[in-house]
Amino acid sequence: MNLLNDNFRAEKLEKTDLSKLIGWAADEKTLIQWCGPVFNFPLTIEQLEKYFENTTGNEPSRIIFKSLNNENVMTGMCELGAVDRKFKTASICRVFVDPKFRGQGIADKLLCHVINYAFNELHLRRLELNVYSYNSAAIKSYERLGFIREGMKRKVTQYKDEFWDGYMYGLLKDEWKG
Ligand SMILES: CC(C)(COP(=O)(O)OP(=O)(O)OC[C@H]1O[C@@H](n2cnc3c(N)ncnc32)[C@H](O)[C@@H]1OP(=O)(O)O)[C@@H](O)C(=O)NCCC(=O)NCCS
């Protein structure tokens, strides 16, 4: 995937970017779909700053990326979390594209950048992720990039009177075609 000259670039998320995320999850269902139980609705700067703490230090367990367009507007974010340098694994999580910029393939480009970083810079060998089974926009993107469905957690989350199943996906370095 050509990431250059494509109204797209990716960088590490800065603490000063956090407040931009607050408006993106405008309702509780979206917040849970994005983050599972990690944040409480409504999202606040205090919750985000606490979350951001794990990104500091020499070998952080959490590395967060943002996508920007040619006008330097932040259009999306994606976390590489649970980074385990001993076992060479990590999770892709909290993938989010600003609703104003959906449907332009930004998630694919940002994920591609994060996967390349994980396999080529951190030399990890396995990435995994969880996604709710109804989230077809996210699932299509993960499958386009080569993630393999490895299992399903039934009724993993309750939201009001709904029970959501979750899929688990994995991608190994040898399988990555990026
Ligand atoms: C999942 C998500 C990251 C996909 O981001 P994206 O950059 O819009 O992805 P794509 O451009 O590939 O679009 C995905 C699909 O959403 C559709 N879509 C959703 N909202 C859209 C909008 N406002 N405008 C146009 N298309 C939209 C697209 O048509 C596309 O469907 P298609 O593949 O059948 O054509 C984004 O929808 C999102 O942030 N969702 C909320 C958080 C979330 O669910 N994160 C994943 C947690 S596991």
- Residue 96: CB within 6 Å of ligand 1? yes
- Residue 43: CB within 6 Å of ligand 1? no
- Domain span at 134: 9-175
Note the helical H segments in the chain: 18-21, 28-35, 45-52, 106-116, 136-144
Is 3 part of a structural domain of the chain? no
- Residue 102: CB within 6 Å of ligand 1? yes
Cα 86 to averaged position of ligand 1 atoms, centre (Å): 34
Phi, psi at 177, each rounded to 5°? -100, 10
CATH number of the domain to which 18 belongs: 3.40.630.30
Task: Kindly tell me if the per-residue pLDDT of 172 is higher than 80.
Answer: yes
Number of domains in the chain: 1
pLDDT digit string, tens, across residues 118-158: 999 999 999 999 999 999 999 999 999 999 999 999 999 99
Is 1 part of a structural domain of the chain? no
Phi, psi at 128, each rounded to 5°? -135, 165
Weakest mean pLDDT among 22-26, 65-69, 79-83, 94-98: 22-26
pLDDT digit string, tens, across residues 71-115: 999 999 999 999 999 999 999 999 999 999 999 999 999 999 999
Cβ atoms 109, 1 nearer than 8 A: yes
Contacts of 176 (CB under 8 A, 6+ apart): 115, 119, 146
Task: Kindly tell me if the per-residue pLDDT of 3 is higher than 80.
Answer: no
Taking the C-alpha atoms of residue 84 and residue 110, their distance in angstroms, rounded to an integer, is: 21
Is 57 part of a structural domain of the chain? yes
Is 109 part of a structural domain of the chain? yes
Classify strands 89-97 and 126-132 as parallel, antiparallel or unpaired: parallel
Is 4 part of a structural domain of the chain? no
Is 16 part of a structural domain of the chain? yes
